[in-house]
Structure 1
Amino acid sequence: MIYQGNALSVASNGDNLATLTFDLKDESINKLSSAVIKELQEAVKAIQAESDLKGLMIASAKDAFIVGADITEFHGMFAKDEDFLVNMNQEVHALFNAIEDLPFPTVTAINGLALGGGCEVTLTTDFRVMAEKAQIGLPETKLGILPGWGGCVRLPRIAGADNAIEWIAGGTQNKADAALKMGVVDAVVPAERLQAAALDILGRANAGELDYLARREEKKSPLKLNAIEQMMVFETAKGYVAGKAGPHYPAPVEAIKVIQKGAGEGRERAQAIEAKGFAKLAKTEVCFNLVGLFLNDQVVKKKGSKYEKQAAPVEQTAVLGAGIMGGGIAYQSAYKGTPILMKDIKEEAIQLGLKEARKLLSKQTERGKLSTEKMAEALANIRPTLSYGDFGEVDLVVEAVVENPKIKDAVLTEVEGYVGDNTILTSNTSTISISRLAQNLKRPENFCGMHFFNPVHRMPLVEVIRGEKTGDAAVAATVAYARKMGKTPIVVNDCPGFLVNRVLFPYFGGFSLLVEQGADFEHVDKVMEKFGWPMGPAYLLDVVGMDTAVHANEVMAEGFPDRMAHGSKEGDKTAIQVMYENERLGQKNGKGFYVYEEDKKGKPKKVSDERAHELVKQVASGERELSDDEIIARMMVPLCMETVRCLEDGIVGTPAEADMALIYGIGFPPFRGGALRYIDAMGVAEFVKLADELAAELGPLYAPTDKLRAMADNAERFYPQPTQAQA
């Protein structure tokens, strides 16, 4: 044994060839923490001290190769100054350069995921061999940073600048065949032949068949692009990527600039440019929030996994109520491999549900994501029925009928008589109390909410709602099924609107008050879209549907009359109610705050409409000029305050789950990290002061809670303050 550590070892195989194996103890994956980097430095020194070695293979004993750096260290590390971050990266550059400069050929055997720093490790070796099912990529821009351990330097020299930009700016995870096509890897082989193929390459390099020194020289030299070629590659890419990334995500364009600045330089100077670019991005608020988002997502996944381990198998399911929503649920279940019965009382509804599922599967086939055989298999997983005949074999039922408590109650009590004693019943309700719907059930412990968001195939969130009598087995099975469907389930407790709609409607309440005071709704939309929302509140209401919004608003007003009742005075109407009364339901009937025309792809395109402005003037008490910051405050404070209340009331368990639910459920701007991170960024005391000022004029919707005031007085936060000591 040449070296043995906690995370990696180096052993000789007897032919003067060494294998450096990553195998982090007590972990299911390999990641590059500070401790692992330190071990790698020791291992490389041990390799350099061996005088008779003729080659090195880098491999992994885990299912994944290396998934990247240890992101849990990022907040503490990035709290340090730019000089520290530059020096840290330069230390890693020196280490990786030492691997690249070893006096014999080197190869990496990529058996599984090689991402971020893991991918950059592979780029240090002369050759790379990849297993057929392995994936490789540099996803750093998705965390608001750029590859800082040589990715921006080596990948363009190995694969070409245009290919490297595509991978780095897109943050993509790429399959083996794509990596081979781009020249990132030298061979793709079945997993069982991986290490033999890698060792064969070392033998051929030592025999002079493969020129490993020429490979190195190419990686260490400037890019072979003249001035015109450079301008065409980089300037075109910057314009395109800036358009796709948008103004709130600087990392993809910054990565292109770093590649461009280093293109005419040798290895060390290009790496110095990369280290500075990395440090600059690591200090941004966008990076802080996107790293926080990743960590929050890990919290949510960990909780989901814990429930999944406790769950009874869910192998056959059913959806009650076909149509668009039922068809979407049936599609998602069937596409992800769980057979589903789709029941309705009308044949035309069944056909509508099947049509929706068929349409979504056809789109997947057209995009090349699904073969025609797999599409046929998925369709066969959906069994339409007008009766309860086969419901005795079902493990879980999703009720997705009209949002009416009497109808839902009738359907749920009826189906309970046809299913087994252990079958889980769920309701896809967006607002109706789960405890209320459970009142007439014989087995309320087997019942919970399973709230999908529309459109089902696109929206990642599923709220799993625990009623007063819901048992742990029901929650665990529902979480497991949601995860099997490729969704992110978040468990919440029962209350009007649950978590996401309870938080969303104060946001709409803020919008109604703005319009009431004379703000132009189109201007409000533009301000909130510029702030980072995918669509402004008026546009979002048109997508939700005015009838749905009015119904949900009534539920919220009944549940929280002090702050969510309609209008500021008795008998006042909101702009939403006026639209509803004038049969302007939004996209579903082609007119709401905007009118809708079909674009070239057949999708609804919003167009400004004078009639909508005339109707809105009925609720306006005048015309008031508000700054963009005032509009943002009036929209964001009620949403953030209600999130705080949900956390304080125990509706949601942690700040991480609350923030992820808003990002996945209603498109809260990811680069802002979520409602509670948004308050932390502003400062709790500053937020309370702003909320008090607005509450004095606009009422209890804006008022801070006593607990939030106490947090402000004690200088507390929702998330721990990262300190330099953490690094």
Structure 2
Amino acid sequence: MIYQGNAISVATNGDGIATLTFDLQDESINKLSSTVVGELDEAVKAIQGESGLKGLIIASAKEVFIVGADITEFHGLFEKGEDFLVEMNQKVHAIFNAIEDLPFPTVTAINGLALGGGCEVTLATDFRVMSESARIGLPETKLGILPGWGGCVRLPRLIGADNAIEWIARGNENEAAEALKMGAVDAVVPNDRLEAAALDILARANAGELDYRARRQEKTGPLHLNPIEQMMVFETAKGYVADKAGPHYPAPIAAINVIQKGAGESRERAQASEAKAFARMAKTDVCFNLVGLFLNDQLVKKKASRYEKQARKVSQAAVLGAGIMGGGIAYQSASKGTPILMKDIKEEAIELGLKEARKLFAKQVERGKLTTQQMAERLSNIRPTLSYGDFGHVDLVVEAVVENPKVKDAVLSEVEGLVSDDTILTSNTSTISITRLAQNLKRPENFCGMHFFNPVHRMPLVEVIRGEKTGDAAVAATVAYARAMGKTPIVVNDCPGFLVNRVLFPYFGGFNSLLEQGADFQRIDKVMEKFGWPMGPAYLLDVVGMDTAVHANEVMAEGFPDRMAQEGKSAIQVMVDNDRLGQKNAKGFYAYEEDKKGKPKKVSDEQAHELIKSVVKAEQEFSDEEIIARMMVPLCLETVRCLEDGIVGSAAEADMALIYGIGFPPFRGGALRYIDATGLPQFVELADRLADELGPLYAPTDTLRQMAEAGESFHGSDA
């Protein structure tokens, strides 16, 4: 044994080949914490001091190679400032450069995931062999930073600047076949052949069959691009990436600039540019929020995993109510391998549901994600039926009929009598109380809410709603099923609108009050889209459906009359009265035409502007900042109230639900992190000022005032 640490060991095989193995004790994965990087430094120095070595293999003893740096350290490290970060990265560069400069050939055996810093470790060796099931990539731009340990320097020299830009800017994981095609790895083999393949490459390098020194010269010298080629590659890429990333995500463009700046430089000078750019990005608010979002996501996944461990497996599901929503749920279940019955009382609804599922599977085939045979196999997981004949073997039922309590009551009571005593019943309701729906059930402990968001195949969130009598087994099974469907479940308690809709409708309340005071809805949309929302409130209402919004708003007003009841007719009600329901009938705040792909395209409609005039009570000019405040303060305050009322279990879950459920701008981190960023005292002061004019919807809670006075925040130092 040349070296033994808590995460890394180095041993030789007797033939002069050393193997450096990552195996972080007491963890299921390998990650590069500050401590592990320190061990890597010691291990490399031990290898440098060992005589008679002929080669080095870097490998992992776990099911993954290295998932990346330890992101839980990021906020603490990044707050130490740019100089500290530049120095930190330069120390890591020195370690990786020492691996690259060893006086014998080196190879990495990649199993499982090699991401971020884990990928950058592999780039330091001369060769890479990869298992067929492994994936590799540099996802740093998704955290608002860029590869800082040589990824922006080595990868372009290995696979070409254009390919490297695509990998780094997208931040995706790449499968083994893609990595081999690009030249990022030298061989792809079955997992049990990794070590043998690595040893074979070292033997061929030592025999002179493979020129490892030439490989190093490629990686350590300038890129082979003349000035005109450089301009074409980098300037074209910047335009494309800027358009895709948008103005709120600067990291992908910063990464391209680093690659461009280092293109004509030696290894060390290019790495110095990379270290400085990394430090600049690490100090941005976007990075802080995206790292926080990642940590929140991990917390949400851990909570779901704990439920999953207690759950009975859902082997057979059923959805009641076909159509678009039922078809979407059936598709999602079937596509992830859980067979599902799709029941309706009408043949035409069954056909509509099947048509929706077929359409979604066909898109997967078009994109090359599925073969036609795989599509046929997965489609066979959906069994349409007009009867309850096979419901005795169903583990979980999703009721997805119309949003009407009487209809839902009848359907739920009917199906409860036809399933086994331990079958879980769930309702895909967006507003109706789960406690209320459980009143007529014989086994209310087996019933909970399972609220999907539209379109089901795209929206990651599922709200799992616990009613007053819902048992733990029902919640656990529903969470497990949502996870099996590839969704992110968040458990919330019952109240009008649950979490997401309860928070969303004060946002629409802010929108309505702006219209009443003369603000133009198209301008509001533009301001909020510039703020970072995927669509402004008027456009969103058109997508949701005006009649749906009116119904949900009535539920909110009944539940929270002090702040959500509205005097007089709202702009949304005016739209419904004039049969402008949004995209569903091609006219709402906007009119809709089909684009070339057959999708609805919004266009301005003068009639909508004329109709809005009937609700205007005063003419007032608003700045962009005033519009943002009027829209965001009520949404944020309602999120605070949901946390205080125990509707949601933590600030992390509240923020993730809004990001996954209604597209809250991810780079802002969520409603509660947005309050943290504003500063609680400043936010309370702003809310008080608005409440004086606009009433209870804008009034801070007593607990929020106390937190502001005590200098507290929602996310504390977790960040």
TM class by smaller structure: over 0.9
Shift of 1:192: 1.1
Instruction: Write the letter of the residue equivalent to 1:66.
Output: I
Offset at 1:217? 1.0
Is 1:655 the counterpart of 2:645? The answer is no
Write the distance in 2 (CA, Å) between the matches of 1:75 and 1:319: 43
Instruction: Summarize the alignment of residues 544-583 of structure 1 with structure 2, pairs less than 5 Å apart.
Output: 544-567=544-567, 572-583=568-579
Question: 2 CA distance for matches of 1:220 and 1:364?
Answer: 41
Residue 623 of structure 1: CA displacement? 2.1
- Cα distance between partner residues in 2 of 1:379 and 1:157: 44
Aligned to 2:587: 591
The DSSP-based 3-state class of the residue aligned with 2:87 is helix
1:689 aligns with 2:681: no
Partner of 1:671: 667
Deviations 1:418-466 (CA, angstroms, capped at 9, x unpaired):
0000000000000000000000000000000000000000000000000
Match among 591, 594, 601 for residue 597 of structure 2: 601
User: 1:372-394, CA deviations, whole angstroms, 9 ceiling, x for partnerless residues?
Assistant: 11111111111111111110000
Q: Does structure 1 residue 705 correspond to structure 2 residue 692?
A: no
Number of corresponding residues? 719
Q: Which residue of 2 aligns with 1:41?
A: 41
Alignment RMSD (CA, Å) = 0.7
| Equivalent pair of 1:590/1:596 in contact (CA under 8 Å) | yes
Letter in 1 for 2:684: V
**Contact 1:290–1:673 at 8 Å: present in 2 too?**
yes
Matches of 1:519 and 1:648 in 2, distance apart?
Answer: 33
Equivalent residues of 1:65, 1:113 under 8 A apart: yes
Other-structure match for 1:156 = 156
Matches of 1:364 and 1:334 in 2, distance apart?
13
Distance 1:347 1:161 in 2: 55
Counterpart position of 1:174: 174
- Alignment of 1:640 onto 2:646: no
User: What whole-Å deviation, never above 9, does each CA across 1:557-580 have from its counterpart, x for those lacking one?
Assistant: 00000000023xxxx111000001
CA shift for structure 1 position 166: 0.5
Instruction: Summarize the alignment of residues 40-439 of structure 1 with structure 2, pairs less than 5 Å apart.
Output: 40-439=40-439
SS at match of 1:278: helix
Distance between the aligned counterparts of 2:456 and 2:168, measured in 1? Answer: 30
Distance 1:86 1:508 in 2: 45
The letter of the residue matching 2:167 is W
Q: Secondary structure at the match of 1:308?
A: helix
Alignment of 1:622 with 2:628, yes or no, is no
| SS at structure 2 position matched to 1:237 | helix
**Mapped partners of 1:92, 1:82: distance in 2:** 15
Letter aligned with residue 617 of structure 1: K
- Report the equivalent of 1:488: 488
How has the CA–CA distance of structure 1 residues 431 and 236 changed in structure 2, closer, same or farther, with 3 Å as cutoff? Answer: same
Q: Which amino acid in structure 2 is aligned with residue 459 of structure 1? A: M
Amino acid at match of 2:608: A
Other structure's SS at 2:462 match: strand
SS at match of 1:618: helix
**Secondary structure of 1:419 counterpart:** coil
SS state of the match for residue 373, structure 1?
A: helix
SS of the equivalent of 1:136 reads strand
Determine helix, strand or coil for the equivalent of 1:647. Answer: helix
1:369 is displaced (CA, Å) by 0.5
Secondary structure of the residue aligned to 2:615 is: coil
Query: Displacement, 1:537?
Result: 0.1
Is contact 1:399-1:425 (8 Å) kept?
A: yes
CA distance in 2, matches of 1:542, 1:497: 19
Please give the alpha-carbon distance, in whole angstroms, between the structure 1 residues aligned to 2:351 and 2:210: 61
Q: Are the aligned partners of 1:345 and 1:386 in contact in 2 as well (CA < 8 Å)? A: yes
- Mapped partners of 1:46, 1:447: distance in 2: 61
Asked if the contact 1:33/1:70 (under 8 Å) is kept, the reply is yes
Distance 2:200 2:14 in 1: 15
Structure 1's unaligned 5+ residue stretches are none
DSSP 3-state at the match of 1:11: strand
2: CA distance, partners of 1:95 / 1:365: 45
Displacement of 1:721 in angstroms is: 3.4
Q: Kindly provide the amino acid, as one letter, of the partner of residue 550 in structure 1.
A: V
1:84-132 Cα offsets, whole Å, 9 max, x none, are 0000000000000000000100000001100000000000000001111
**What is residue 719 of structure 1 aligned with on the other side?**
715
Provide the rounded CA distance (Å) in 1 between the counterparts of 2:321 and 2:285. Answer: 45
- Stretches of 4+ aligned residues off by more than 2 angstroms: none
Alignment-mate amino acid for residue 623 of structure 1: E
What's the TM-score once normalised by structure 2's chain length?
1.00
CA contact (8 A) 1:79 1:722 kept: no
Q: Is the 8 A contact 1:168 1:252 kept in 2?
A: yes
1:425 is paired with a residue whose SS is strand
In 1, the alpha carbon distance for the partners of 2:34 and 2:668 equals 28
Contact 1:510 1:634 in 2 (8 A): yes
In the alignment, residue 410 of structure 1 is paired with which amino acid?
A
Q: What is the distance in 2 between the residues matched to 1:533 and 1:311? A: 36
Residues 513-542 of structure 1 show CA distances to partners (whole Å, capped at 9, x for unaligned) of 000000000000000000000000000000
Is this contact kept in 2: 1:64–1:114, CA < 8 A?
Answer: yes
Task: Output aligned runs, 1:467-486, within 5 Å.
Answer: 467-486=467-486
In 1, Cα distance between the equivalents of 2:425 and 2:685? 45
Please give the per-residue CA displacement for 1:310-368, whole angstroms capped at 9, x wherever unaligned: 00110001000000000000010001100000111111111111111111111111111
Structure 1: how far apart are the matches of 2:239 and 2:456? 33
8 Å Cα contact 1:56-1:104 kept in structure 2: yes
Contact 1:446 1:470 in 2 (8 A): yes
User: How many angstroms does 1:688 deviate by?
Assistant: 0.3
Which residue does the alignment assign to 1:506? Answer: 506
1: CA distance, partners of 2:104 / 2:142: 36
* Structure 2 equivalent of residue 534 of structure 1: 534
Q: Deviation of residue 622 (structure 1)?
A: 2.7
Structure 1 CA distance, aligned partners of 2:17 and 2:337? 45
Deviation at 1:720, TM superposition (A): 1.3
- Sequence identity of aligned pairs in percent? 83
- In the TM superposition, what is the alpha-carbon distance from 1:722 to its structure 2 partner? 6.3
**Residue 190 of structure 1: how far off its partner (Å):** 1.0
- 8 Å CA contact 1:517, 1:624 repeated in 2: yes
Q: Which whole-Å CA distance do the structure 2 matches of 1:185 and 1:382 have between them?
A: 40
Letter in 2 for 1:234: F
Q: 1:81 to 1:175 in 2, by over 3 A?
A: same
Q: What does residue range 6-45 of structure 1 map to in structure 2 within 5 Å?
A: 6-45=6-45
1:597 aligned partner, one-letter code: E
Report the Cα distance in structure 2 between the residues aligned to 1:682 and 1:119, rounded to whole angstroms: 36
Matched letter for residue 594 of structure 1: Y
Partners of 2:290 and 2:189 lie apart in 1 by: 35
Structure 2, gaps ≥5 residues long: none
